[in-house]
């Protein structure tokens, strides 16, 4: 009985890390947990890198408002960080889409497996674990979708500022962009908050998996 319940428990967590379920089924509980934790840590690292890039981009942008700053080199620093930010945003969007699609397919298949269990007690336990894993997964997906949505206005602000200052880079034009710069900071905070929420949920799942080692 135990061997039927534990693979199901860990298999659900594997979906969090975008790791094919069949890879884990041949390993013991500790091995599966270790694999999942490693994958979750990589996803968490990606979140942290994204948050850091938001901060770096906004720091270079905000330095344009510092009195006496040499505008041209500072503007070039901002544009370099913006390019990196757009690369991070592309990865985040792709990751969110992939996890959502894989999760739907994975949990659909897992639900069918649970229904096929003949022993009622085991089936109920497996269904309970399925519901718990799906709840964790859904929270992470929700945070990823929030980040995906919030990246849109954030990048729009940044690119509007870039376009505006590309056409005229003077103290007056930077002053005119001050309201838009403030808006970009607000949207950047929203993006960082969503990434932080996802990191917290990943940490919670990772801590839970420690009990299998």
Q: 122-140 pLDDT, tens per residue?
A: 888 878 877 877 777 777 7
What's this model's pTM, rounded to 2 decimal places?
A: 0.75
Backbone φ and ψ of 200, nearest 5° = -60, -40
For residue 211, name the pLDDT band (cuts at 50, 70, 90). low
Q: 165-197 pLDDT, tens per residue?
A: 999 999 999 999 999 999 999 999 999 998 888
Buried b (16+ CB within 10 A) or exposed e, 80-90: ebbeebbebbe
Give the count of beta carbons closer than 10 Å to the beta carbon of residue 121: 9
pLDDT of residue 20: 38
Buried b (16+ CB within 10 A) or exposed e, 152-181: ebbbebbeebbeebeeeeeeeebeebeeeb
Q: What mean pLDDT, rounded, does the chain reach? A: 79
Taking 60 as the threshold, does the pLDDT of residue 48 lie above it? yes
């Amino acid at each position: 009985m135990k061997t039927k319940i534990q693979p199901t428990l860990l298999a659900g967590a594997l979906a969090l890390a975008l790791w094919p379920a069949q890879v884990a089924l041949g390993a013991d509980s500790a091995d599966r947990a270790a694999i999942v934790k490693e994958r979750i840590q990589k996803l968490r690292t990606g979140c942290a890198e994204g948050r850091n890039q938001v901060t770096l981009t906004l720091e270079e942008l905000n330095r344009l408002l510092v009195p006496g700053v040499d505008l041209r080199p500072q503007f070039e620093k901002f544009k370099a960080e913006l390019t990196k930010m757009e690369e991070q945003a592309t990865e985040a969007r792709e990751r969110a889409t992939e996890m959502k699609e894989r999760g739907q397919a994975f949990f659909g298949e897992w639900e069918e497996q649970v229904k096929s269990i003949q022993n009622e007690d085991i089936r109920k336990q497996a269904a309970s674990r399925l519901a718990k894993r799906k709840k964790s997964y859904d929270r992470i997906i929700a945070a990823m979708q929030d980040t995906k949505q919030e990246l849109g206005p954030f990048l729009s602000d940044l690119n509007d500022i870039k376009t505006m200052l590309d056409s005229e880079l003077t103290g007056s034009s930077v002053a005119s962009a001050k309201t838009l710069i403030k808006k970009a900071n607000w949207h950047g905070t929203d993006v960082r908050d969503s990434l932080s929420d996802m990191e917290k949920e990943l940490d919670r799942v990772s801590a839970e998996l420690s009990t299998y080692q």
